[in-house]
Amino acid sequence: MVGMLVLTVQYKSVEMADLKIIMTARGINIMGCDLFYGLGFTTKNDGGEEWRPWDTFQQVPIIQDEQTPWKLFRALKIISMIVTAIFIFGLALCSKTSFLILITLSSEGTKTIPDDLKPVTLLCIGCSLITSSVLLLLKSLWKSFFKTAKVPSLKTSAFVLSFEFLVSGGAAILTIIAMPHLDIITNITILNSIAVYSALLQVAAQCSAKNTNRYMVPSILSFILILTGYCLFVVLYILKDLNNIQTATWVGLAVGGSFLVSLNWWENYFRVISERSSSTFLKELCKDMRRGQNFLHILSSLLRVAVTTCVLGAYVPLTNLDWEVVTSIPLRETKIIAITVGVQLISSALCHWFALSATKMHVMRRCFILPLYLASLAVVALLVVPVIVYYENHRISFNETVTNFTAYCNIVDGRNLSASVFEDLVNDVTRTLCFLDMSDMMDISILTGSAAAWWLGLILATLHLWYLNLHRIQRTQDLFTRRLYEGAFIEQSLLLNVRFEIPSKQKRKKRDVGIEPVMVYLCATMWHETYDEMMNIIISIFRLDKYRPKEKQMEQDFSFEAHIYFDDAFQYVDGTPERHLNEYAETLVQIIKEVYGIFTNMGDSFFKNQHQIPEQRIIRTPYGGRVVITMPHGNDIVIHFKDKELIRHKKRWSQIMYLFYLLGFKLTTKYYKEWKNGGDEKWLMQEAQKEKHNTYLMALDGDTDFQPGAVVLLIDRLRMYPRVGAVCGRIHPTGAGPTVWFQKFEYAVSHWLQKTAEHVFGSVLCSPGCFSLFRAEALMDDNVMKTYSTKSTEAGHYIQYDQGEDRWLCTLLMKQGWRVEYTAASDAYTNAPEEFKELYNQRRRWGPSTMANVVDLLGSSTIISHRNRSMSKPFMFYQLFSLFSGILAPATIVLMVAGSLSFLWEFDSAASIVISVIPPAIYLGLSFKLKSDTQITIAAVLSIIYAFLMMVVTLAIIGSMVKEKTILTPSSIFVIAMAMIYIITALLHPQEFYLVFYGLLYIICIPSAYLLLTIYSMVNMNNVSWGTREAKPTPGGPKPAAAPQTTTQKAQGTFQRFLSWFRCCNKYKGPQHRQLHEENIITPEPEPLELQPQNTIVDGIFPEGEQGQIEPIYNVPIPCWVRKLQSVTEDMNLVEERLDEEEVEFWKELQVKYLEPLPNDKEKQKKIADDLKSLRNKINFAFFMTNAMWLVATFTLQIYSEIFAIRIPIYNLTLDRTDNEIEINPVGLMFILGFALSVVLQFIGMFYHRMNTIMHYVAFMDTETRKPKPKKQKKYKKGKKKDTTFNEEVEESSSSNQTTSTDSVSEVSEVSEVSGSQGNPDESEDSDNSEDEELFSQGPEEGIMV
């Protein structure tokens, strides 16, 4: 029976050209209507054509990550870890060794530094103690002056300062008074004993948490070992001479000072105890400390400096020393002391920074804990081994007449200074050991025992660090309790300062501890994207679906849902009363169907059946229509087709549409409904606030191409920094041609220097809408979403609101105190304008919009500096200078061209300025009269002329440097400095270094970009059209008129179209009703239709082989857009559903209040056009008048150069002064210096940001869970049957349950992945794909249907 049905259908498919009959997984589909259900096979491939065994070749787009150099990043990760570990170990070694040398030089009897110069070394020890406090004081003052600083209560201040007083006093007593009188080994190891109070507080904290289990054992053992070390230390020194009160005093001060220093990290455990305590006093005290942290840091830093100064100032006179020697230090001693203290200060600060880097890179065990543990042992070896070597050499040189260490000490004491500083230092270290008898095994054993006990006590006190759960990137305040490091005992302070967590018995996931899952909505806006552009973003979304599957989610860090808002998706079609989807919208659905098939069937074996795409949903909505696609791994893509006659179109209104839908309707409404049903208001507010904080919106363009890892890296920034409202990634323009090459370098410089400087020193001003992640809490803040939905009513609104909507949204966020960040580790690719005209039109929008938003920010600088902790007044001044530089860019280019003319043809400077002004002045005047296309044509011609001039000037400057044998001229220094900055910056971005070569094109195009383009954008400011993608033909446009029809044909066609439209537009009534309805409309086999006349208005259909002939045309009615789309996507069954009534009401209200289509009011449009011209004229007058005044000032200074000019002599390569001089006017010099300062600041910001980016890379690659590799597919064995035949499958399907859908068909088994193609199984077995590549480019799960 089934075979007969198949034959019948095949016959009818050939004979009836007017009916489209398709065999699907659900049955037979005629004219878009499913008639029968239950057939479990298909005879068509993904393209809708009949499957043929000889035509199995595919054209598959690139799905894998072809852009990211993961091998380079993997090597970078290994190198970074090794370098970090070596630096932490080496810097800790340098810091501790140099500090102990200062202690040794402060001892009595040393020869390297005479006794009368001891105050100098003691002063250096004091500097080591207070340097970190001074740095913290400066940082806290900066935050207090330019950001925020809340004053804590008097009770809290007294409580904190009491601890700070004890700690600073203990540190000064230990290092300045006690340690210079102890031996070098004790000095090295007694610093490990400062973990004694931390060990005791760990026990107390775990007792407060009722955690009396095995995790308390290390803390108890640590406390016992440190006390044992103290006992052995006291025994070693006191028993030497029981009557020596002075020695007992030094020992007592050492023990007491170390106990006081150990109080330094009380906050680390006080936080844990207060959280688990029922005491309201402790909780409020801890809260007040966090709130007034900056102010407390200022007070504590000042107190530490004061206490250290008092101890140092009091101790020096008590030892009969004089401070006057500080002013008269011999040169030799000055060098020794300066180098030692310099190494100590610098190495301590750098060690602290590298330690932070190691923890943020998630390599804490390998690169942080282990190197710091080994540092103390290495210091012992570094200082003691030379003593042993010198002692043994001395014994050998004296034929072993020196029998013991005491005799050797007598010889060392009698020596004078040698020529070698190293030998003198070794002898001074030896003198500290002379108090003990190093030949006595008892002394050695006691000394070794105390040192080992203290070292093991430190290890046990910090044993919890090995099990500390870290996030991928964390804030410093979350990693370390105190911002302060202790330079005198760097490794102990770093280890004990790490946040303390009470270990739990429960085994928790390493990455998920403390991380709440977030919801990410991917929101893309589309309009007239091409097939390739839409393919890019759809593949990217499907990649993310595989990377974070919804059904079997291995990672619980985030889930996502994709929404695509398609503007102007409908058009009128002849023959139907309703609007239909245009070709762009239909192409998008076709692309989704193709990509779905690729991700579902990728990796299947050679003769396996292709997986059937499950049913998807299509819904009519008040704004147009919606298609909901459930991707292979459970996540949804929702395509919103907007009808501009029903809802307002253009990009900003699409953004407002999804903001209100996702954040207003989906997020907020459910809590309101629960509250109406009697829910607890306080609890609901907390839950709503929590969800707002953990809900992110990713803004995308319709052509953005990204990898899943890029999304994760953006999420990291928002997850870890609660006041970050938006974060953007590195945008890479794609395309070909000189225009794109120019933009590649321009984008690179903008991201390398400008965005990094904004990120480091303040806040990024623009997070581009093509690839940015926004926090829902920030978007829902006051004056953000509500203001963003404001309709433009004034001329300035059209420029600021609609021409650069992403920058305006960031402006609103920053005004409310939210920070915008930039993550260079997150890459995205988007198409750039490839035509000169399209580029000019794009920048015509961006230029005025950027200026308007910056002026808006500067006008509110006082309020913003108060609200936004990231944007200080110095940063606002930096933005003011950048704005001023941008305004003067045309005049600066004119002066540069004038200098070029003067340099090439030796014109007078004033005449060169006049000549250089003429072309841009003429272009400016013509631009007010000519059309924009003509303006662009003229600009293109002038750009070519300027490009040749710039090339000649560049070569001439290089030739001048070679001819005059000097680079010490202002122009040469400027060119070389800029080249060096760009080259070094590119070297720090190795994967983008090739972009430097595009810089040559960028240089010669500078006049076009900063002079002609500025003139064009300013003059055409009143043009508020989009400017890009507008040249493409509008789908559904007017078609050639058809031949007229007869009256009978018109009546018959109208009646048939009306019946078809009435049937198709019935609301969805459930599957059963639909199936019965469709079965009822099955008609008997129709009789052959009579041919209609040739002028009938239908589309001609040409059978294969007869394209040249005109086939008879039938008057078939056009179905509605739902049925038409269902017929277009025949392999992806779209089931119509009804929209929820509550959501229908929401859309209607939203349309009325915010998104109602704007009326075509000619008078209002004319008024706005006149206002835009008026605004254009005012701004242009001020803009170009400023440039003119700058040129006039420069021209005047050139005329009177003999009076005003600054003359700078020229030096040759040997730094000999020549007879030539260069004259520079003061105004130009000030501008050059300001520009140079801004570039230097940008370079510093770039370097700092680059280090953080490397940390983020390494942390991501080290923490992101790798999915297990799929099982290998077994090789084909000859004689083994691999699959059933088609007929056997038909028999199986006919004998099984007729209502079984593709979702319930057999099990799926894993097979090996084939990257985008089906190849030889043997070759796929031998392939070696790196794990890091799989990490970012996991292909879809593979499976075979049995």
- Residue-wise pLDDT for 1074-1113, tens only, equals 333 333 333 334 333 333 333 332 333 333 333 333 333 3
Using pLDDT thresholds of 50, 70 and 90, give the confidence band for residue 1212. Answer: low
Report how far residue 693's alpha carbon sits from residue 727's, in angstroms, rounded to the nearest whole number.
Answer: 14
What is the distance in angstroms between the CA of the first residue and the CA of the last residue of the chain? 24
- Give me 1344's structure tokens: 């075979």
Rounded to two decimals, what is the model's pTM?
0.80
Using pLDDT thresholds of 50, 70 and 90, give the confidence band for residue 1210. Answer: low
Report how far residue 1035's alpha carbon sits from residue 579's, in angstroms, rounded to the nearest whole number.
Answer: 12
Residues in the chain: 1346
Segment 657-664 shows an average pLDDT of 94
For residues 465 and 173, is the Cβ–Cβ distance under 8 A?
A: no
DSSP one-letter string for 778-846: HHTSTTTHHHHTPPP-SHHHIIIIISSHHHHHHHHHHHTT-EEEEEEEEEEEEE---SHHHHHHHHHHH
823 vs 960, more confident = 823
Placement of tokens 């006291």 in the chain? 234
Q: Which residues contact 1180 (CB under 8 A, 6 or more apart)?
A: 1018, 1019, 1021
- pLDDT-above-70 percentage for the chain: 76
For residue 496, how far is the Cα from the chain centroid? 31
For residue 1089, the model assigns a pLDDT of 36
Report how far residue 338's alpha carbon sits from residue 340's, in angstroms, rounded to the nearest whole number.
Answer: 5
202 burial level (CB within 10 Å; 0-12, 13-18, 19+): buried
Bridge partner residues of 1135 (DSSP): 617
For residues 1012 and 923, is the Cβ–Cβ distance under 8 A?
A: yes
- pLDDT-above-90 percentage for the chain: 38
For residue 1028, the model assigns a pLDDT of 66
For residue 1282, the model assigns a pLDDT of 42
For residue 1260, how far is the Cα from the chain centroid? 12
Closest C-alpha among 445, 152, 90 to residue 294? 152
Of the listed ranges 678-682, 819-823, 884-888, the least confidently predicted one is: 678-682
Q: Helix 970-987 crosses helix 1226-1263 at what angle (to 10 degrees)?
A: 10
For residues 447 and 185, is the Cβ–Cβ distance under 8 A?
A: yes
The yes-or-no verdict on residue 1306 having pLDDT over 80 is: no
- The backbone region for 865, taken as left when phi is positive above 0, alpha when psi lies in -120 to 50, beta otherwise, is alpha
Segment 1183-1207 shows an average pLDDT of 82
Report how far residue 1117's alpha carbon sits from residue 1098's, in angstroms, rounded to the nearest whole number.
Answer: 9
In tens, the pLDDT along 88-124 reads 999 999 999 999 999 999 888 788 888 888 889 999 9
66: number of Cβ within 10 Å: 7
For residues 823 and 710, is the Cβ–Cβ distance under 8 A?
A: no
For residue 1065, the model assigns a pLDDT of 47
Query: In this structure, what are the phi and psi dihedrals at residue 26, rounded to the nearest 5 degrees?
Result: -100, -10
For residue 232, the model assigns a pLDDT of 92
Which is it for the CA torsion 900, 943, 838, 855, positive or negative? positive
In tens, the pLDDT along 384-423 reads 888 888 888 877 776 666 567 777 787 877 777 777 888 8
The yes-or-no verdict on residue 1206 having pLDDT over 80 is: no
926 vs 470, more confident = 926
Closest C-alpha among 3, 86, 96 to residue 43? 3
Query: In this structure, what are the phi and psi dihedrals at residue 689, rounded to the nearest 5 degrees?
Result: -65, -40
148 vs 1014, more confident = 1014
Q: Which residues contact 435 (CB under 8 A, 6 or more apart)?
A: 183, 240
For residue 503, the model assigns a pLDDT of 65
In tens, the pLDDT along 440-484 reads 788 888 989 999 999 999 999 999 888 887 777 777 877 888 887
Segment 670-689 shows an average pLDDT of 88
Q: Show the beta-strand stretches assigned E in 19-91.
A: 21-24, 27-30, 33-34
Mean confidence (pLDDT) of the chain: 78
1305 burial level (CB within 10 Å; 0-12, 13-18, 19+): middle
For residue 1346, the model assigns a pLDDT of 24
For residues 861 and 876, is the Cβ–Cβ distance under 8 A?
A: yes
Segment 140-159 shows an average pLDDT of 83
Report how far residue 409's alpha carbon sits from residue 437's, in angstroms, rounded to the nearest whole number.
Answer: 10
Long-range contacts from 203-208, C-beta under 8 angstroms, 24+ separation: 204/269, 204/273, 205/269, 205/272, 205/273, 205/500, 205/502, 206/502, 208/272, 208/273, 208/276, 208/277
Q: What share of the chain is helix, strand, coil (3-state, %, to 5)?
A: 60, 10, 30
The yes-or-no verdict on residue 1289 having pLDDT over 80 is: no
Q: Which residues contact 642 (CB under 8 A, 6 or more apart)?
A: 565, 566, 567, 568, 569, 570, 623, 624, 649, 654, 657
Closest C-alpha among 638, 637, 635 to residue 546? 635
In tens, the pLDDT along 51-97 reads 566 766 666 777 766 666 777 778 888 888 899 999 999 999 999 99
Closest C-alpha among 1071, 488, 397, 521 to residue 776? 521
849 vs 1041, more confident = 849
- Give me 21's structure tokens: 């009959």
In tens, the pLDDT along 498-551 reads 988 876 655 444 444 457 889 999 999 998 889 999 999 999 999 999 888 887
Report how far residue 602's alpha carbon sits from residue 63's, in angstroms, rounded to the nearest whole number.
Answer: 11
In tens, the pLDDT along 186-222 reads 999 999 999 999 999 888 888 876 655 667 888 899 9
For residue 42, the model assigns a pLDDT of 44
For residues 165 and 249, is the Cβ–Cβ distance under 8 A?
A: no
Q: Which residues contact 217 (CB under 8 A, 6 or more apart)?
A: none
Segment 652-674 shows an average pLDDT of 92
Q: Which residues contact 628 (CB under 8 A, 6 or more apart)?
A: 616, 617, 618, 619, 636, 637, 638, 639
In tens, the pLDDT along 305-346 reads 999 999 998 888 877 777 778 888 888 888 999 999 999 999
Report how far residue 1097's alpha carbon sits from residue 1117's, in angstroms, rounded to the nearest whole number.
Answer: 10
| Alpha-helix residue ranges (DSSP H) falling in 147-276 | 154-172, 184-190, 196-208, 217-238, 245-261, 266-276
